[in-house]
Structure 1
Amino acid sequence: MDYWLSKKIQSLCAPSCLRTGSIWLARAGFWVYIIYGIVQWFRPGRPEGQRQRRRSLLEALFSVLCSSLMSYVIARIWRRPRPFAAHRDIRQYVAHKDNASFPSNHTMNAFAAGLAVFYRSKLAGLFLILWSLLIGFSRIVCGIHYVSDILGGLVLGLAGWRVTARNKGLRWLAMGLPWLWTWLTERICQRERR
């Protein structure tokens, strides 16, 4: 069933414009998260607003780290071959190693980060969550993941976010690091003015 559905999605997206967009998303879609993080971290504004944005970004980073740890453990226990390696009739449109297919780490990390941002900023978080779904879909179209890999990535992304949201130590760290950053940058600016 998983093979059939993945093959069907790939064949439905055969028109060149859909495939080209999917190839671009599968290769570079994650850059949206990196650019968003850099812009939000350094964006000027009131100190309280800056600290809230930075806290959100740190919570997103911690969610990604928790999800990645879970994914690493799963990959050590079970190595599922990628669709392009397991089935000759599924084409590979993006160069990728034949490592563990389950879960989709790109989808998992994008979804975990999107959920963390959504918790603090609904509009930006909603955009990032929808973007993570597009990344997952593009990876099916490109033949490097099954549908269940994407669903597994979404579940692990949710789990990573929940671990971060419920862990008091990580929440305190996410709250304290922006204060430390502000304090350090103010001290550096004061030294340069002298």
Structure 2
Amino acid sequence: MNYWLFQLINQLADRYDWIDDIMEFCAQDIVFAMIAILGILWFTGKKQNQKAVFFAAVTACAAMLIGSLVISPAVQHPRPFATHQVHQLVAHAADYSFPSDHAMLAFSIAFSVLLVKRRIGMLLLVLAVVTGFSRVYVGVHYPADIAGAAVLSAVAAFAVHLLRDRLDPIPERLIRIYGKARRLAVRR
């Protein structure tokens, strides 16, 4: 079923150049837009937004470490283009594909923010879904790679959210340091 879904999505590639260009952008660069949104949240200067950014970063780091260092080496699932004839639109190393790093980053940010800021979290979740879909479209991931990344990211976001009270002194201190540095920079 995983391969069947992959084929269903990937067969759409290489038909219209302009759609392929959009999908290539989505597969590779939407995560940078998501990080920019986190940057905007941070620079609002609102403590709630800054804490949301901190916890999104912690969630992403946790998911990426578990996914890349534990799950991927244990599962050792090859990429679609390594074992099948596919429409591969972006270059990629033939390393393990499960779970998708791009999707883990995108879904980690989205789920973490969604738990505290619904509107922005929903926007980020839509961007994460588009990222995941486009990674399959361009031929570098199977749908299960994306689903696995989404599940791991959701678990990591929920775990970090449950630990917020214990971790709270860290962002509090970072926010204070940032505030002092900002005030010093404005004075000069």
- Fold shared per TM-score above 0.5: yes
**Aligned mates of 2:9, 2:107 — CA distance in 1:** 21
- Structure 2 counterpart of 1:97, one-letter code: A
- Partner of 1:23 in structure 2? 24
Equivalent in the alignment of 2:168? 171
Q: Do structure 1's residue 185 and structure 2's residue 186 form an aligned pair?
A: no
Q: Deviations over 1:83-113 (max 9, x none)?
A: 01110x2121111111110001111111111
Residue in 1 aligned with 2:125? 129
1:38 alignment counterpart: 39
Does the CA contact (< 8 Å) of 1:62 and 1:170 recur in 2? no
Deviation at 1:176, TM superposition (A): 3.4
Q: Secondary structure at the match of 1:120?
A: coil
* 1:179 shift after superposition: 2.6
Shift of 1:31: 1.0
1:160 aligns with 2:161: no
1:155-194 Cα offsets, whole Å, 9 max, x none, are: 011011122112243333234321332133224544x2xx
Unpaired segments of 5 or more residues in structure 2?
Answer: none
Alignment size in residue pairs: 185
Q: Which runs of 5+ in 1 are unaligned?
A: none
Report the TM-score, using the length of structure 1 for normalisation.
Answer: 0.88
| Residues 10-45 of structure 1 deviation map (CA, whole Å, 9 limit, x = unaligned) | 1135531432221111121111112112222223xx
- TM norm structure 2: 0.90
Q: Give the aligned residue type for 1:20.
A: D
Counterpart among 134, 137, 158 of residue 138 in structure 1: 134
Contact 1:51 1:179 in 2 (8 A): no
**Larger deviation, residues 176-185 vs 2-11:** 176-185
SS class of match (2:139): coil
1:67 and 2:67 matched = no
Percentage of identical aligned residues: 27
Contact 1:59 1:171 in 2 (8 A): no
SS state at 2:158 partner: helix
The residue aligned with 2:53 is 57
RMSD over aligned Cα atoms: 1.7
**Could you tell me whether the CA contact under 8 Å between 2:111 and 2:154 is conserved in 1?**
yes
* Equivalent pair of 1:164/1:171 in contact (CA under 8 Å): no
Residue 5 of structure 2: aligned partner: 5
Letter in 2 for 1:42: F
